[in-house]
Amino acid sequence: MDNVGQEKEIGKDGLKKKILKEGDGYETPINGDEVEVHYVGSLLDGTRFDSSFDRDMPFKFKLGLGHVIQGWDDGIKTMKKGEKALFTIPPALAYGESGSPPTIPPNTTLQFEIELISWTKVKDICKDGGILKKILIEGENWQTPKDPDEVLVKYEARLNDGSLVSKSEELEFTVKDGCFCPALSRAVKTMKKGEKILLIVKPQYAFGEKGRQPEGDNKCVVPPNTALQITLELVSWKTVSEVTSDNKVLKKILKEGEGYDRPNDGAVVQVKLIGKLQDGTVFVKKGSDEVPFEFKIDEEQVIDGLDRGVKTMKKGEVSVLTIHPEYAFGSTESHQESSTVPANSTVYYDVELISFEKEKDLWELTTQEKIETSGRKKEEGNTLFKKQKYERASKRYEKALSFIEYDSAFSEDEKQQAKVLKISCNLNNAACKLKLRDYKQAAKLCTKVLDADSKNVKALYRRVQAYIQLVDLDLAEMDIKKALEIDPDNRDVKLEYKLLREKMKEYNKKDAQFYGNIFAKMEHLNSASGARNPEVVPMKIDSKA
């Protein structure tokens, strides 16, 4: 209340404001908002030249768009709802040198007593004035649709003279694909469920320079470069999310699930599901009777896309999964219970997650359970490795390590068991990385093993293999010699040493050829310039190794 009666300058152009009555709250209107005010305008001598009270009607206008004098736009932006203030506005922010005859002389300072009754939020959606949004009915919650989502809307589009252009009581479309005109998809991404808005749409977001000609049952023409007014209501939408980063497994939620919990790797899930081809042919139907279909996540009991999709669901959720061939049945024909799935087919699953039981989280396990679980995950990795599923095997070994990574609470015996497991998992994971041609990571994993057990021949052997591929031949030679010192009769190490020596000879020859070419070029250049040829010392090639 201390501000009441005090005059303060706003900005640097001479606009002054004196608060006569405090407003409510903290919010003030912004450019584009439709404000409603009562006002009295006077000259400095007290002569009154205009008043909304004389018309017994508040004055409405859109703030910041130049619909009123600059002093009003600048001043009303500082007001709260219900506030009353006296503004002293210099000529440059009022009617300037020309004035507004006959009531306002040239170069006149004006005073306006203004009361801000209320305002309606108007959002400039594209930040260029092309689509202005005015909320008529507030929506629910806070979520808004995204590009992949499918929305259900009602809309009515009219020309500025009120002529009806188009109307729909029920229109469903994917946000990114849009519908009717570009403004709809842009606006709907700003809306909440149940929200109803009025859009003022400039031609570039309507039908542009070409306009729209009559088509089908719609006989209304939209002339070129014509603005539209569109009333739009967001009835509902189905969330479509990307299960995989390459967009080849998509999930459309038909019914939201309960809570926040979702299945984890190893969780046992109970579902109802129907698998369909693109033409609607059902190839599998499970769990539709009294007993739901049960499977374990991340155990390859179902196709990969279904596994990944169900893992993102909540209890009670109903969704449609769209699964591309890479995550379904691939490039081969697959005979299912009701129909054959052709090669390279995108498939669709209607899935309801009835319930699930999560695999125990790390913090729920005792120290002995952590070791047992780690051992079990390691064996699962071994099984996957034998099936040549190296990527999945690598993840199992990493999962196994996560259970025993922090062993401060372990007993001495448990620490020893954990050490053996860590060495085994890192070695096996290094073998996976070699198969996957991730040689740097393979070398790092072997180094971890050697930090714990410096005489581990397997770790030295696999690091040699990685170093050879990375062309770190000197490091490879050091490791192979150390391995032979520890185990001179190891057949695999001997064979690898033979391969290494061949590689070193091959690279020495390449080096000799490379430098030989350089010297030949230098000799040619020197001859051409008449310079005396220096004595060329041949490169020493170390053929021993």
User: Among all residues, which ones are annotated catalytic?
Assistant: 39, 49-50, 69, 95, 112
Nearest to 207 by CA among 159, 164, 171, 173: 159
Q: Which two tokens stand for residue 304?
A: 């990969």
Tally Cβ neighbours within 10 Å of residue 71. Answer: 27
Rounded distance between C-alpha atoms, residue 223 and residue 408, angstroms: 76
Tally Cβ neighbours within 10 Å of residue 437. Answer: 9
Rounded distance between C-alpha atoms, residue 201 and residue 183, angstroms: 7
Question: How many helices (H) and strands (E) in the chain?
Answer: 10, 22
Q: Please tell me whether residue 464 adopts helix, strand or coil conformation.
A: helix
Nearest to 11 by CA among 82, 73, 99: 73
Say which residues have a Cβ less than 8 Å from residue 340's Cβ, sequence separation at least 6. 283, 333, 334
Rounded distance between C-alpha atoms, residue 310 and residue 295, angstroms: 10
- What secondary structure, in 3-state letters, does 295-356 show? EECCCCCCCHHHHHHHHCCCCCCEEEEEECHHHCCCCCCEECCCCEECCCCCEEEEEEEEEE
Rounded distance between C-alpha atoms, residue 463 and residue 474, angstroms: 12
Sign of the C-alpha dihedral, residues 479, 485, 490, 494?
positive
Rounded distance between C-alpha atoms, residue 329 and residue 332, angstroms: 7
Rounded distance between C-alpha atoms, residue 145 and residue 36, angstroms: 31
Torsion angle of the four alpha carbons 409, 415, 418, 424, in this order, in degrees rounded to the nearest 10? 150
C-beta separation of 381 from 425 below 8 A? yes
